[in-house]
C-alpha cells in the first residue's frame, strides 16, 4: 500500500485497541443487520413514510425515546468500563488515553444525548395531549429538531471508531481543548456534534414555549395546566435563554481550533476564563433544563397514584419559576476556585443556596400530595418515591457544595461526582423512567410488566446507593475526579471496589428494564380503555395510542385535572369522598357544577387541519452532518457542498406552498369508530 | 495491604452510615483532618453545613417512609382519605420557612468564612513558594532561598506560606486537602493561596483539574518540618543538588512525561515571572504586577 494511504488510514481509523475493534465490529454488524431486515421485509418505504418524514409529535417523541435509551446504553457501557478500570489501583484494563476519551464521551452523551432527548421525548409525548392540542405549534421545526439532535449524536458516537474521541472532559476547557493541546479531530467532533444538536434543542425550546402559550384548549388557563406543562414551559424558557451562550462558546472555540483565532488562548490577548464563564452560563441552567421536566413528571405521577389533587399547586408553579430565574444567577459556583474575590464568591454561593429553598418546597408538596391519599405503588410511583430520598440528599450536598469555602475542598473531587450523579440519576433518570412507565401505554397501547419493573427498580436503586455513597466518602479522603489510576496506600481501595459493585448492580437494573420492554411488547397487558391508571389529565381521555389527530373534538376545560373532573361529573356522585370536612365537599360540588356533561360533546365533527409530512428536515440534517463532518477533518471539499445543501433545503422550504391538509370527516368517523368512540 | 479484616469492613459500615460521618472518624478522611488553620476553618464549616442540612434530610426521609407506609392503598386501609385536600397556608409557610432559616444560617457563615480565607492576618513574613503546574509534574520555586523542587515541597511549620500559582501547561488546580482547599493554576496568571501547617507531617497533594494523559500521576507531597529542619534542608539542597538551567526547565515543560521528586540548588532569576509574561501575562497588567510584587 502506498505510504500516503496507510498514513491516512492510521489517522482516520482508530487502530490498535481491542475495545475499538469490538466497537467497529459491532457497528458494522448492527448496520448490516438493520439494512438486511429493512430490505428483507421490504420496510424501506415504511421507514421513510412513517418515521423519517413524520412531523407527528407522538412519533417524534417515540424516536426521541428510542434514541435516548440507546444513548443511555452507550453511556452506561462507558460507565461500566470506567468503574472496571477503577475497581482497584493499578488495573491495566484501560490505558490513560482511553479512559480519558471514555469519561469525556460518557459525560457528553449522558447530558446532551441521553438526558436531553429523554426530556424531549416526554415533551413530545405528553404536552400536546395534556393541553388538548392536535400537534405542537411548529411541527416541521419539531422534525428538524429531532433530526439535528440525531445527526449530532451520530457525529459524536462515530468519533470513537473514526478519527478518535474527544478527551478533554465534557466541559472541554481550553487551553486543554484548544489547538495546542488537543491535536487531531477528536475535539472538533465534540464542538460540532454539540453545535448541531444544540440547534435542535433551541428549536424544541421555542416550539414548546409557543405551543404551551398559544395552543391550549379553550378554558385551559395557565393555572389550570397540568404541572408537567408548567415544568416544560420553565425548561423551554431556560433553553431559549441559555443555549445561545453554549453556541457562542462552542463557535469561538471552533474558530480558535480551525481558523487560528485567539478568543480563548492567553496569547494574543484572549482569555480561557471567558470560555469557562460562557460554558457555565449555559451549563448550570442546563442541569435545571433536564431536571425541571422530571419534577413535572413526578408531580403528575404523585397526584395520579395517590388519587389526590396536587398539594400546593400555586406554590409548585411559584417554585418552578423562581428556579428559572435563580438558575441564571449561579453559574460561577462551578469555579469558586478560579480566583474571584470574596464578594463575587459570596454572591454566587448565596444565590446557589437559595435555589435549594424552592427545590425543598417542591419535595414537601409531593409528600403532602401523598399524605391522606391512596397510594398505589406502581412502577412510575416506585421511581417517584425512590427519587425523593435521592434528591433530598443530592440537594443537601448541593447546598454544601454551594458554600464557597467548603467547595474549595470538594471541588473536582469524588464528592462532587457523587453530588451530581445523585441529582442527575436520582432526579433526571428516575423522572424520565417514571415518565416512560407512566406514558408507555399512551405511546404503544400496552402496559409494561410490573413485576419486571419492580426488579429493575430495586436493582437500580440499591445499586445506586452502593455505587455513589462511597464516592462521597472517597472524595472526603482526597480522591480527585478524572483519574484512571490512583495510589493504593490512601485507603481508597475498598470504597472504590464497593462503588464498582454498585455500578454493576445498576447495569443489571438497566438490563432488566430492557427485558421488561421486550417482554411487554409481546405479553404486556393491552390498554383498551385509554385510561389505565385512572388518570387526571387530558391525555387519558384519549384512546391508546392516540389517533393521528389526537382530539376528534377539542375538549373544553373548566378546571384543573380536567379529565378527572369530567369523569367525576360522569360518575355523578360523591361516594369517593370519604371525608366529611366541609371544605372538601364544597370544592367537589363546585367542580361538579362547572364540569361538562361528558367529553363526547355534541355537535358535528369538523374536518381537521393537519401539517403535511416532509422529508426535508431529514435531508437538511443530513446536510448538516456532511457539513459538520467536513469541518471535523477540515475537508472543505466536503464541508462546502454540505453547507450549500443546508441553504438549498432552507430555500426549498420557503417556496413550499402546500404545507398542510384537511382530514375529512368520514375518515375521522372511521377512526373514532374503530376505537369504539362514536 | 495487611490490615485486619474489620478495618476493611469499617468502610462498608460508613457506607451505610453516611449521614453520621460528620467528624474526624479515621485519619484517612483528609478533608476532615485538617493540619492547619485554613483547612480547619473549612472543616468546621463543612461540619456546620452537614449538621444543618441533616435537620431537613433526616425528617424528610422518615416522613417519606411513614407516609408511604400509612397511605398505601390496601383494601382494609382505615387511614383518612381526602382527595380534594390540596391547600394549607400554615403548612406552606412552614416549609418555605424551614429552608429559609437553614439557608440563612449556612449563608451567614459561608460569607464570613469566604472573607476570612482571602488573605490571613500575617503575624510574620510568609514564606513564598512559586508553584508551576507542568505536563505532568509540579515545579516549586523558592524565590527567597533560590532553590527549586519538583513534585514535593518542604515548608516550615507554624509559618504562613504564600503559594503563588501559575501553569505552563493546561489549567490545573493545586490541592493539599489537609492544609486547605484548592485554587486553579492558569497559564499567564498568578494566583495566591495562603496555607499553613501546624504540625510536622507529610501532606498529600494532587492536581485537581484534568490536564490530559499523565494527569492521574500528578500527586505531590508537602512536607512540613520545624523551622530548623527547614533551614537545614534548604542548605542541604543548595549544597548538594544541581542547578536548574533554562534548558533544564525547557526539558521539564516540553517533555510531556511523569518524573519523580527532584531538587535544584538554584534557578535562573525571574524565570517564574517571565513564564507568566510569555504565557499571556503581558496582556494582563495586573497579573504581571501580582506575579512580581
Ligand atoms: C439544591 C440545588 C443545587 C445546588 C445548590 C447545587 C450546587 C452545585 C455546585 C455548587 C456545584 C459545583 C461544585 C464544584 O464544581 O465544585 C454543582 C455541580 C454540579 N451540579 Fe449541582 N446543585 C444543585 C442541584 C443540582 C441539580 C438539580 C442538578 C442536575 C439535575 C445538578 C447537577 C450538577 C452537575 C452536573 C454538576 C457538576 C458539573 C461538572 O463539574 O462536571 N445540581 N452543583
Ligand atoms: Cu451549577
A212-228 b/e (C-beta count within 10 Å ≥ 16 → b): beebbbebbeeebbbbb
Q: Domain A43-523 belongs to what architecture?
A: Up-down Bundle (1.20)
Q: How many residues are there in chain A?
A: 678
Give the pLDDT band (50/70/90) at residue B11: low
- The boundaries of the domain holding residue B54 are 31-74+87-119
**Burial (Cβ within 10 Å: 0-12, 13-18, ≥19) of residue A358:** buried
Q: How many CA within 13 A on the CB side of residue A405?
A: 30
Distance from C-alpha of B198 to C-alpha of B181, rounded to nearest angstrom: 16
Residue B115 shares a structural domain with residue B159: no
Kind of pairing between the strands at B147-150 and B137-142:
antiparallel
Strand order in the sheet with B161-167: B191-195, B161-167, B127-134, B137-142, B147-150, B262-264
CA B36 to chain A, closest CA, distance in angstroms equals 14
- Is the distance from CB of A139 to CB of A57 less than 8 angstroms? yes
Say if ligand 1 is within 6 A of residue A291 CB: yes
Question: B109 in a domain, yes or no?
Answer: yes
- Rg for chain A, CA atoms, rounded: 26
Angle in degrees, 0-180, between the axes of helices A139-158 and A186-214, rounded to the nearest 10: 160
How many other C-beta atoms can be found within 10 angstroms of the C-beta atom of residue A153? 26
Structure confidence at residue A582 (pLDDT): 35
Minimal Cα–Cα distance from A304 to chain B, Å?
A: 11
Q: What is the C-alpha R_g of chain B?
A: 25
As for how many domains chain B has, the answer is 2
Pairing between β-strand B147-150 and β-strand B152-156 as defined by DSSP bridges: unpaired
Task: For ligand 1, say whether the CB of A334 is within 6 Å of any of its atoms.
Answer: yes
CA–CA distance, A565 with A598 (Å, rounded to integer): 10
Residues facing residue B162 across a β-bridge: B128, B194
Closest of A294, A419, A314, A429 to residue A361, by C-alpha: A314
| Mean pLDDT for all residues in chain A | 89
Question: If you write DSSP's letter for every residue of A485-548 in order, what string do you get?
Answer: ---TTSS-HHHHHHHHHHHHHHHHHHHHHHHHHHHHHHHSPB-SSS-TT---SGGGGS-SSPPT
Whether residues B189 and B280 share a domain: the answer is yes
Strand partners, B201: B224
What pLDDT is attached to residue A576? Answer: 43
| B160 shares its domain with B134 | yes
Sorted by sequence, the CB contacts under 8 Å of residue A158 that are 6+ apart come out as: A189
Closest ligand 1 atom number to CA of residue A402: 10
Same domain for B238 and B143, yes or no, is yes
Q: How confident is the model at residue B1 (pLDDT cuts 50, 70, 90)?
A: very low
pLDDT exceeds 70 at position A50:
yes
Residue A513 beta carbon below 6 angstroms from any ligand 1 atom: no
DSSP state for residue A428 in the 8-state scheme = I
Between the CA of B236 and the centroid of ligand 2 the distance, in Å, is 48
Test site for ligand 1: of A294, A390, A398, A421, most ligand atoms within 8 A of the Cβ: A398
- pLDDT at position A10: 61
If you measure from the C-alpha of residue A402 to the centroid of ligand 2, how many angstroms do you get, rounded to a whole number? 9
* pLDDT at position B9: 47
A276 lines ligand 1 (CB under 6 A): no
Q: What is the DSSP string of A61-98?
A: HHHHHHHHHHHHHHHHHHHHHHHHHTTSTT--SS-HHH
ipTM attached to this prediction: 0.90
Query: Among the residues of A445-492, which ranges form H helices?
Result: 450-476
Q: Which set of grid coordinates corresponds to residue B4? A: 485486619
Q: How far apart are CA A397 and CA B106, in angstroms?
A: 13
Q: With bands split at pLDDT 50, 70 and 90, how would you rate the model's confidence at A594?
A: very low
Chain A residues whose CB is inside 8 A of the B186 CB are: 266, 272-273, 338-339
Smallest Cβ–Cβ distance between B110 and the set A349, A372, A375 belongs to A349
pLDDT at A573 over 80: no
CA atoms within 13 A on the CB side of B149: 19
Chain B residue closest in CA terms to A481: B208
* Least reliable range by pLDDT among A120-124, A145-149, A431-435, B96-100: B96-100
Question: Contact A98/A84 with Cβ under 8 angstroms?
Answer: no
pLDDT tier at A580, thresholds 50, 70, 90: very low
> How far from chain centre, in Å, is Cα B133?
15
| B220 within a domain of the structure (yes/no) | yes
Residue A267 pLDDT grade (very low, low, confident, very high; cuts 50, 70, 90): confident
**Location of C-alpha cell 424531549:** A120
Beta bridge pairs of residue B224: B155, B201
By three-state DSSP, how is residue A263 classified? coil
Pairwise CA distance, residues A509 & A502, whole Å: 11
pTM across the whole model: 0.91
Confidence of residue A3 (pLDDT cuts 50, 70, 90): low
**3-state secondary structure at position A459:** helix
With the most atoms of ligand 1 within 8 angstroms of its CB, the residue from A423, A424, A430, A431 to mutate is: A423
**Average pLDDT across chain B, whole number:** 86
Which is nearest to B275 in space by CA: B179, B148, B151, B153?
B148
**Ligand 1 in reach of A430 Cβ (< 6 A):** no
Write out pLDDT tens, residues A620-663: 999 999 999 999 999 999 999 999 999 999 999 888 888 888 99
Q: Does B274 lie in the same domain as B142?
A: yes
Question: Could you tell me if B133 and B268 lie in one domain?
Answer: yes
Answer for the pair A93, A488: CB distance below 8 angstroms, yes or no: no
The domain limits of chain A are 43-523, 616-674
Residue of B nearest to A466 (CA): B15
Fill in the DSSP letter of residue B184.
Answer: E
Q: What is the CATH number of the domain that holds B284?
A: 2.60.40.420
CA-nearest of A409, A417, A407 to A336 is A407
- Among A129-133, A158-162, A547-551, the range scoring the smallest mean pLDDT is A158-162
Highest mean pLDDT: which range of A68-82, A264-278, A579-593, B122-136: A68-82
Residue A359 CA, closest ligand 1 atom number: 1
Amino acid at each position: 500500500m502506498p505510504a500516503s494511504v496507510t498514513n491516512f488510514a492510521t489517522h482516520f481509523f482508530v487502530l490498535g485497541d481491542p475495545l475499538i475493534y469490538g466497537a467497529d465490529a459491532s457497528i458494522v454488524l448492527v448496520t448490516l443487520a438493520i439494512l438486511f431486515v429493512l430490505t428483507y421485509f421490504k420496510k424501506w418505504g415504511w421507514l421513510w413514510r412513517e418515521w423519517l418524514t413524520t412531523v407527528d409529535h407522538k412519533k417524534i417523541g417515540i424516536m426521541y425515546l428510542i434514541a435516548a435509551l440507546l444513548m443511555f446504553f452507550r453511556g452506561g457501557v462507558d460507565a461500566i468500563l470506567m468503574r472496571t478500570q477503577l475497581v482497584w489501583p493499578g488495573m491495566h484494563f484501560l490505558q490513560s488515553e482511553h479512559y480519558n476519551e471514555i469519561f469525556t464521551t460518557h459525560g457528553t452523551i449522558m447530558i446532551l444525548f441521553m438526558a436531553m432527548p429523554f426530556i424531549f421525548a416526554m415533551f413530545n409525548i405528553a404536552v400536546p395531549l395534556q393541553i388538548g392540542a392536535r400537534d405542537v405549534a411548529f411541527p416541521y421545526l419539531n422534525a428538524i429538531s429531532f433530526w439535528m439532535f440525531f445527526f449530532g449524536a451520530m457525529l459524536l458516537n462515530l468519533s470513537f471508531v473514526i478519527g478518535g474521541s474527544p478527551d478533554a472532559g465534557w466541559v472541554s476547557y481550553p487551553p486543554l481543548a484548544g489547538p495546542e493541546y488537543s491535536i487531531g479531530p477528536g475535539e472538533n467532533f465534540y464542538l460540532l456534534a454539540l453545535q448541531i444538536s444544540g440547534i435542535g434543542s433551541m428549536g424544541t425550546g421555542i416550539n414548546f414555549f409557543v405551543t404551551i402559550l398559544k395552543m391550549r384548549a379553550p378554558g385551559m388557563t395557565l393555572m389550570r395546566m397540568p404541572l408537567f406543562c408548567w415544568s416544560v414551559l420553565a425548561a423551554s424558557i431556560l433553553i431559549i435563554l441559555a443555549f445561545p451562550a453554549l453556541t457562542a462558546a462552542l463557535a469561538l472555540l471552533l474558530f480558535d481550533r480551525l481558523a487560528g483565532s485567539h478568543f480563548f488562548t492567553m496569547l494574543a490577548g484572549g482569555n480561557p476564563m471567558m470560555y469557562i464563564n460562557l460554558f457555565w452560563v449555559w451549563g448550570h441552567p442546563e442541569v435545571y433544563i433536564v431536571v425541571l421536566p422530571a419534577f413535572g413528571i413526578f408531580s403528575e405521577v404523585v397526584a395520579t397514584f395517590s388519587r389526590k389533587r396536587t398539594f400546593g399547586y400555586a406554590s409548585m408553579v411559584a417554585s418552578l419559576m423562581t428556579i428559572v430565574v435563580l438558575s441564571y444567577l449561579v453559574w460561577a459556583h462551578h469555579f469558586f476556585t478560579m480566583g474571584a474575590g470574596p464578594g463575587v464568591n459570596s454572591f454566587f454561593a448565596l444565590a446557589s443556596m437559595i435555589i435549594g429553598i424552592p427545590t425543598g418546597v417542591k419535595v414537601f408538596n409531593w409528600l403532602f400530595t401523598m399524605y391522606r391519599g391512596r397510594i398505589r405503588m406502581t412502577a412510575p410511583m416506585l421511581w417517584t418515591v425512590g427519587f425523593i430520598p435521592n434528591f433530598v440528599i443530592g440537594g443537601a450536598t448541593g447546598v454544601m457544595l454551594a458554600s464557597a469555602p467548603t467547595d474549595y475542598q470538594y471541588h473536582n473531587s469524588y464528592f462532587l461526582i457523587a453530588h451530581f450523579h445523585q441529582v442527575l440519576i436520582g432526579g433526571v433518570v428516575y423522572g424520565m423512567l417514571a415518565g416512560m412507565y407512566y406514558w408507555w401505554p399512551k405511546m404503544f397501547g400496552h402496559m409494561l410488566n410490573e413485576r419486571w419493573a419492580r426488579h429493575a427498580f430495586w436493582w437500580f436503586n440499591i445499586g445506586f446507593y452502593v455505587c455513589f455513597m462511597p464516592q462521597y466518602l472517597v472524595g472526603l479522603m482526597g480522591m480527585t475526579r478524572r483519574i484512571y489510576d490512583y495510589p493504593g496506600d490512601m485507603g481508597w481501595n475498598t470504597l472504590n471496589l464497593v462503588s464498582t459493585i454498585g455500578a454493576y448492580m445498576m447495569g443489571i437494573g438497566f438490563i432488566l428494564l430492557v427485558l421488561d420492554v421486550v417482554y411487554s411488547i409481546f405479553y404486556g397487558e393491552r390498554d383498551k380503555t385509554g385510561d389505565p391508571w385512572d388518570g387526571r389529565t387530558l391525555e387519558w381521555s384519549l384512546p391508546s395510542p392516540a389517533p393521528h389527530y389526537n382530539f376528534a373534538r377539542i375538549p373544553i376545560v373548566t378546571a384543573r385535572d380536567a379529565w378527572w373532573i369530567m369523569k367525576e361529573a360522569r360518575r355523578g356522585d360523591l361516594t369517593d369522598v370519604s371525608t366529611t370536612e366541609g371544605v372538601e365537599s364544597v370544592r367537589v360540588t363546585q367542580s361538579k357544577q362547572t364540569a361538562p356533561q361528558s367529553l363526547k360533546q355534541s355537535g358535528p365533527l369538523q374536518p381537521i387541519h393537519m401539517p403535511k409530512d416532509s422529508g426535508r428536515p431529514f435531508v437538511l440534517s443530513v446536510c448538516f452532518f456532511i457539513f459538520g463532518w467536513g469541518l471535523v477533518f477540515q475537508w472543505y471539499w466536503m464541508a462546502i457542498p454540505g453547507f450549500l445543501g443546508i441553504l438549498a433545503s432552507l430555500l426549498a422550504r420557503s417556496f413550499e406552498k402546500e404545507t398542510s391538509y384537511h382530514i375529512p370527516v368520514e375518515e375521522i368517523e372511521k377512526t373514532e369508530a374503530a376505537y369504539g368512540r362514536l | 495491604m495487611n490490615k485486619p479484616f474489620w478495618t476493611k469492613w469499617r468502610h462498608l459500615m460508613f457506607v451505610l452510615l453516611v449521614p453520621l460521618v460528620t467528624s474526624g472518624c479515621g485519619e484517612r478522611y483528609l478533608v476532615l483532618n485538617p493540619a492547619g488553620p485554613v483547612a480547619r476553618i473549612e472543616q468546621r464549616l463543612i461540619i456546620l453545613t452537614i449538621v444543618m442540612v441533616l435537620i431537613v434530610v433526616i425528617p424528610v426521609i422518615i416522613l417519606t417512609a411513614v407516609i408511604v407506609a400509612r397511605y398505601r392503598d390496601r383494601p382494609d386501609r382505615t387511614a383518612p382519605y381526602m382527595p380534594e385536600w390540596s391547600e394549607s397556608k400554615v403548612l406552606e409557610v412552614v416549609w418555605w420557612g424551614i429552608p429559609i432559616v437553614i439557608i440563612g444560617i449556612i449563608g451567614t457563615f459561608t460569607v464570613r468564612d469566604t472573607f476570612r480565607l482571602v488573605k490571613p492576618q500575617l503575624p510574620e513574613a510568609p514564606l513564598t513558594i512559586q508553584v508551576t503546574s507542568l505536563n505532568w509534574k509540579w515545579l516549586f520555586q523558592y524565590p527567597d532561598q533560590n532553590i527549586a523542587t519538583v513534585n514535593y515541597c518542604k515548608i516550615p511549620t507554624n509559618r504562613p506560606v504564600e503559594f503563588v500559582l501559575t501553569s505552563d501547561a493546561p489549567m490545573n488546580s493545586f490541592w493539599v486537602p489537609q492544609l486547605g482547599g484548592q485554587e486553579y493554576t492558569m497559564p499567564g496568571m498568578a494566583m495566591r493561596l495562603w496555607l499553613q501547617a501546624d504540625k510536622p507531617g507529610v501532606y498529600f497533594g494532587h492536581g485537581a483539574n484534568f490536564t490530559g494523559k499523565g494527569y492521574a500521576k500528578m500527586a505531590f507531597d508537602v512536607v512540613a518540618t520545624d523551622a530548623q529542619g527547614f533551614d537545614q534542608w534548604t542548605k542541604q539542597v543548595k549544597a548538594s543538588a544541581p542547578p536548574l538551567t533554562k534548558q533544564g526547565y525547557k526539558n521539564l515543560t516540553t517533555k510531556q512525561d511523569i518524573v519523580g521528586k527532584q531538587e535544584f540548588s538554584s534557578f535562573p532569576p525571574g524565570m517564574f515571572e517571565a513564564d507568566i509574561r510569555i504565557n499571556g501575562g503581558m496582556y494582563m497588567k495586573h497579573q504581571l504586577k501580582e506575579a512580581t510584587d
